[in-house]
Amino acid sequence: MRFHHMAIFVSDLNAAIRLWRDVMDFKLIVEKTIPDGPAPAPDVYMYPALLDDIFKVKGARSKMALLASAEGALIELQECEVPAIEKTPPEKLRYGHTGFHELGLVVDDIDAFFEKVRAAGYETQTEYVWTCADIGRSFLFYDDDGNMIQIWEHAGEARWQ
């Protein structure tokens, strides 16, 4: 099985795009409001009945962006309009609660990436990049909505590949 994408629900789509495009170096592929057309069609991402079924509300609507890394990882950003997006309290996004709490991504120069994230004004979990046994180095930071993103750099070849 291969990774396809991660959907991240955000309170400010433009701010989230800036993070993923300008800091994370993802390319913006699509930005639109969904539903974006009638019934299934080659150029329609979501039609009204499908989005209503997925979001479980009549008249569902969301601003959506799809971004891709150079290696092909996809990030889907959604800022729901109907139902209105409700920001999750940061303490519910951290450890101790169920759900997905970290999105882990691999980089080649973690020290430079750490400085880039800090220079862009994002909060990091620690003031430094930490070592994980002899398999790699890492740090965590938070987007504007408090979602955790873990950046990882392998120490040599990944043992599990």
Q: Give residue 120's pLDDT.
A: 97
**Ranges for all domains in the chain classified under CATH 3.10.180.10:** 5-82, 90-154
Question: How far out from the chain centre does Cα 55 lie?
Answer: 19
Q: For 118-147, what is each residue's pLDDT tens digit?
A: 999 999 999 999 999 999 999 999 999 999
Q: Give residue 161's pLDDT.
A: 67
Q: Give residue 158's pLDDT.
A: 72
The stretches in the chain having pLDDT less than 50 are: none
CATH class name, domain 5-82:
alpha beta
- The DSSP annotation for 27-80 comes to EEEEEEEES-SSSS-TT-S--HHHHHHHHTSTT-EEEEEEEE-TTS-EEEEEEE
Q: Give residue 91's pLDDT.
A: 85
Q: Give residue 98's pLDDT.
A: 87
pTM score, whole prediction? 0.91
Q: Please provide the CATH number assigned to the domain covering 90-154.
A: 3.10.180.10
